[in-house]
Structure 1
Amino acid sequence: IFVRGHRQCHRRIGTRHPVMTLKECLDECMEALDLFLNNHFNESLEKLRPRVNESMYHALIYATVLEMQAMMTFQPEDISNAGNTMKSAQEVCQRFRRKSPGLSNKSDRGSLTEVQLHAEVCYAECQLQRAALTFLQDENMVSFIKGGIKVRNSYLIYKELHSFIKSHSCLKGPSHVHLEGGISFGIGAFNLDTQSLRVRGILRRQGEYGLSLLHDGATGINLRSMLCALLLLCYYTFLTFILGRAGTPCPKNLRFGSFRFGAIFLFFAGRTEEIKGNIDEAVALFEDGCKAQQAWKQFHHMCYWELMWCFTYKRAWKMAYFYADLLSKESRWSKAMYVYMKAAYLSMLHEDEARPFGEDEVELFRQVSTFKQKIAGKSPPTEKFAIRKARRYKAHCPIRLPVPVLEMMYMWNGFSMISMRPELTEGMMQTLVEAELTLQESPDNEYSVDDRCVIHLLRGLCLKNQGLLQAAEDSFRKVLSSEKKIRFDHYLVPNCLVELGLLYIDQGRRDEAIKLLHKARYVHWKTAAWNVTLWRSGARRICSRYRTVAL
């Protein structure tokens, strides 16, 4: 028994990997991250896997890649696997932390080693990512409380580290640049939340400071530089549009060198061109992003979604339907939304025009509610909106929606995308004129007032894009004058108030704009029984931002 045990022990020692220094671990992890960003996903994981139980950085990056995969696939098994891997990574980081955690005791600061400092920042990052997975995996209140505690603990560690490295007692070792990058990423990510609120005073300054930290992290050369760049790209190309701050320019100094052909950066390059109104260039970049790799189909779904909207702006309804159909078959994120968009595109075709795959829009609209799901414990707002709009098709004699594609396009801030392309705005105006003529020729029904108000709202946006501000104001006013007659689409009034307020801000009529935005917030709360917080102009989030701009 002793001899057999000795041989087994000797065998384990013989196959053990040689011990790597902190710098060597960081260099190898940067190589693995480079592989990932250049479309070599499996090779990246293979490079990290052998040392996930002995190196905190190998464990962290390996778990981060799996978490990115889980958030794209939205498969329960992937989310569970990522959560278990991230928990194991946190345990590896814990082994390298000092026994008495916390950096507030100044007498102990001098005894901290470089490895222990890196262990703190890796541990905080694991906490933050585990919280994100908790919100995705479970829907009960206990899980949300646990996730909130993880977020708080992570922030406290980042905060102490940030103040610690600013002190003169901080040991600046050979890998200090990676430590600073990790802290910039963490503090910048937290403070970016306050920047998204866009309020005055301390919170706004914190948000701007968070952006500056992320810029510093993205332009430096460290392990988190690409993560900082990705977070900034998400902020400038997505979050600003969701929060109604469309038009915030993305910094030009975010250069990606050899990553320009990576699927992720091709996607963001396409999104940047789409924001500028260069739709054809955006389509080409999204298609290149799909061709760049075949290992993770989830990257394709991100491109399909944007391609769907690009062809929507060009009014190529069948091409847009094609990508909505692909998403409904392959993606798990929001099947209700995808099926609704399929039906919406079919309803934009002429009655005598052939339907792709022989599908019928009425049947598709009736299926929308069956695909309802929850993400982080709640149904997505636009999914709620789609389900509510599709209800009218459940009647024995359904009454068709006038312009469902353009209405959903407004929810995703699509009219801001085409504001710099007059020909695209003119095409949307033509579609609205045709829809209004159809409404006038049809007999009145219970939805007639709501449908006319939808067209007035969307026409006002087109007129604003064309610079016809007085005509746009008149169009918005028509909706407001019908407030008491609207029966179903109660979102129209607060949205028109917000759009009219923004119009006044552009004209310098600030006092009038403030009154309208206050009223929009009040009307939003009054009609909150609908419980749909719009991505475009939920008054609770957006009115405060534009009130600040008006001031």
Structure 2
Amino acid sequence: MASPRIEDAQAVSVEAAADEATRALDLLLNNQFGEALKRMRPRAHASMYHALGQSTIMFMQAVLTIDMSDIKAAQEAIRQGVEVCNRFRRRTSTVARMLLRPDYTTYTIEEVHAELCYAECLLENAILTFIEDQSLVTFIKGGLKIRSCYQSYKECMQMLATRNWESSREKGHFESGVHLGVGAFNLLISQLPTRILKLLEFIGFSGNKTVGLRELEEGCMMQDYLRGPLCSVVLVAYHTFVLYILGLGDGDLELSEKLVKGLLAKFPKGVLSLFFNARMYQVKGQIDNAITQYYDAIQAQNEWIPFHYICYWELVWCHNFNCDWDKAIEVANILREGCRWSKATYVYIMAACMYAKLVEGSTELLEDIAHLLRQVPALKQKIAGKSIPIEKFVVKKSQKFFDNGQRLTLPAVEIMYMWNSFPMIGKNEKLLLQILCLIENAVPEVTKRKEEDERFVDDYCLAMLLKGVCKRYMGHPLQAEECFLEVFKYQNQILEDTYLLPFAAAELGFLAVQQQQYTKAKEWLDQAHSNYHDYLLESLVHFRVHSALKSLRSNGHLSSRSNPTTPSPTNSPFPSPLNTPTHAVKVNGFPYLSTSPGITKKVIHPPISTAEGGVVGAD
């Protein structure tokens, strides 16, 4: 069959097509997913915005389900979208672009919008490439696609700045897309550690957090245009998710709350509106309200079940924060049975919650826990030939359970800490005290084994790290420091859990920031970054340390040229640890057996925040 002619597409103007895509997005955000797709399909073969709308809806479904049939269908829709966009794009050779800057005033309205839609299709295609085939070769191919997408967005910025626009609505749809793409790219790239940033800059990428936030905030002011609501979604996700996973949980909650209220006003029953409202409660430490809202989001629609799993994932953490182990087990089991994203993690969390119940007296659960943890190694996935860090962690912990005589120490609290949950828990004194009680009850049980178990030092140091985190968020800096330093006191006796040392060093850095001791903070943060290698969840430490150092520099507390380097023995708070011993070493004296240290609180440099547990001010 002959391909549709350009004239067929021109029967629908760019403005009309973008308006139709806007109405489809409104349907999508009001949970009418099928109706939104139905509006896009008839003209997807000829109209760039109908093709983009169709591919975006199918892309979302593929990402949520990770089902190969959905991925293939989405890739075909994206291929069609790229083909349609290419019919309208201005063809200029790379050599010509290098020799002479294009005159965008000569571009037609179809050509400029086609470049933007093309960039969005490329980005969707690259993400699906990563999901479909997780080999290193595919990872590189996906990276090249993203680079092409990045270049198209840069070109769109030039178009927006230099051409004259006849229709304000045509410009508005285009401008909102530029704000979305350029803003999201800058935010994403700016979050990466310095080492990766330098590599990306070498191949043509660059990212600036301030630029990214500004672009997205400007896009949020354009709610009547196609990508305006999407700018709100990305910005809220950044402040309430990305900064909690890759950063220090220091997002702009005031702005996020304002944006969420705007989404609720426009889409009061929309699953995304309800979900982000729940997330706002969660990051503010209002866990019971968050739980109610997550269940409301689940009940809001039944057309796209994968949205339910996103809510269930957050509910697992909320029930864990409440130490409601039965509910957490129930929700983790729903994820284990129905969600494909990370079954190894779901199974481990379920077992960790069961273990918390076992410690409280439900000893009959031991066999079920062992059955679950035996499954974890076989469920581990790989991306680009490498294990997902959190899955590698839970596999190691599952193996330790059996190596340690079917015993773990505080697995539910530990996984909460690794997922950076304490910035949320720390805003709720009741929850914080409840978790501190669990930790203090575990310490004497651990120290009972010091004469017969060579691994007890690892468990003791884990308990000290977690106790120190609680004390830091309670506003007890001296007690927190005592706990973190306790980990280093036994650094040469740790057998397996070497990740405890860089995490403890990072915590001492965060604590010093709270006390406005910025030179000391940098020394500890540099040590956490540079003195330890090849340990579990190394990337999480690097992301969080990078975020803290960058925040210190942007606030004028450190030289902007200061980069993480290996501290010398003269300026490092502690020397680098020696190699892990291969034999057990008897350790004398454990000062924290059951109660908090008897230290009178004396704060020379007051913390930046206590009740809300803030670490580093938003930069």
Does 2:229 match 1:226?
yes
**Match for residue 69 of structure 2?**
77
Residues in 1 aligned to 2:464 and 2:328: alpha-carbon distance in whole angstroms: 24
| Bigger shift: residues 124-133 or 539-548 | 539-548
**Match for residue 4 of structure 1?**
none
C-alpha distance after superposition, 1:423-449 (max 9, x if no partner)? 110000111111112223346313200
Q: How many residues align?
A: 535
| Bigger shift: residues 363-372 or 286-295 | 363-372
1:364, distance to aligned residue in structure 2 (A): 1.1
Does the CA contact (< 8 Å) of 2:506 and 2:545 recur in 1? no
**Match for residue 210 of structure 2?**
208
Q: Which of these residues, 353, 356, 359, is aligned with residue 362 of structure 2? A: 353
Q: Which of these residues, 132, 139, 143, is aligned with residue 138 of structure 2? A: 143
Does the CA contact (< 8 Å) of 1:197 and 1:545 recur in 2? no
**Match for residue 50 of structure 2?**
58
**Match for residue 238 of structure 1?**
241
Matches within 5 A, 1:364-375: 364-375=372-383
Does 2:550 match 1:545?
yes
Amino acid across the alignment from 1:437: P
Does the CA contact (< 8 Å) of 1:412 and 1:535 recur in 2? no
| Bigger shift: residues 169-178 or 100-109 | 100-109
C-alpha distance 264-115 of structure 1, shift in aligned 2 (>3 A): same
3-state SS in 1 of match to 2:453: coil
Does the CA contact (< 8 Å) of 2:525 and 2:545 recur in 1? no
Residues in 1 aligned to 2:526 and 2:128: alpha-carbon distance in whole angstroms: 37
Q: Which of these residues, 302, 309, 333, is aligned with residue 317 of structure 2? A: 309
Residues in 2 aligned to 1:137 and 1:267: alpha-carbon distance in whole angstroms: 27
Amino acid across the alignment from 1:317: W
**Match for residue 441 of structure 1?**
448
Residues in 2 aligned to 1:17 and 1:227: alpha-carbon distance in whole angstroms: 26
Does 2:338 match 1:340?
no
Does 2:77 match 1:89?
no
Q: Which of these residues, 517, 523, 527, is aligned with residue 519 of structure 1? A: 527
Residues in 2 aligned to 1:106 and 1:495: alpha-carbon distance in whole angstroms: 49
Residues in 1 aligned to 2:48 and 2:74: alpha-carbon distance in whole angstroms: 16
Does the CA contact (< 8 Å) of 2:336 and 2:347 recur in 1? yes
Does the CA contact (< 8 Å) of 2:88 and 2:114 recur in 1? yes
Does the CA contact (< 8 Å) of 2:41 and 2:54 recur in 1? yes
Provide structure 2 residue ranges, at least 5 long, that are not aligned to the other structure: 559-619
**Match for residue 196 of structure 1?**
191
Does 2:180 match 1:185?
yes
Amino acid across the alignment from 1:145: I
**Match for residue 282 of structure 1?**
290
Q: Which of these residues, 433, 443, 446, is aligned with residue 426 of structure 1? A: 433
**Match for residue 607 of structure 2?**
none
1:107, distance to aligned residue in structure 2 (A): 6.5
Matches within 5 A, 1:474-485: 474-485=482-493
Residues in 2 aligned to 1:469 and 1:511: alpha-carbon distance in whole angstroms: 17
3-state SS in 1 of match to 2:357: coil
Residues in 1 aligned to 2:510 and 2:536: alpha-carbon distance in whole angstroms: 24
Amino acid across the alignment from 2:323: R
C-alpha distance 388-350 of structure 1, shift in aligned 2 (>3 A): closer
RMSD between aligned alpha carbons? 2.8
C-alpha distance 73-359 of structure 1, shift in aligned 2 (>3 A): farther
Q: Which of these residues, 118, 122, 126, is aligned with residue 127 of structure 1? A: 122
Amino acid across the alignment from 2:251: T
Does the CA contact (< 8 Å) of 1:524 and 1:539 recur in 2? no
C-alpha distance 542-182 of structure 1, shift in aligned 2 (>3 A): closer
Does the CA contact (< 8 Å) of 1:59 and 1:89 recur in 2? yes
Matches within 5 A, 1:443-458: 444-458=452-466
1:97, distance to aligned residue in structure 2 (A): 1.5
C-alpha distance 141-17 of structure 1, shift in aligned 2 (>3 A): closer
TM-score normalised by the chain length of structure 2:
0.81
C-alpha distance after superposition, 1:211-243 (max 9, x if no partner)? 111111122121111221111121111110122
Provide structure 1 residue ranges, at least 5 long, that are not aligned to the other structure: 1-7
3-state SS in 2 of match to 1:245: coil
Residues in 2 aligned to 1:310 and 1:107: alpha-carbon distance in whole angstroms: 53
Amino acid across the alignment from 1:240: L
| Percentage of matched positions with identical amino acids | 35
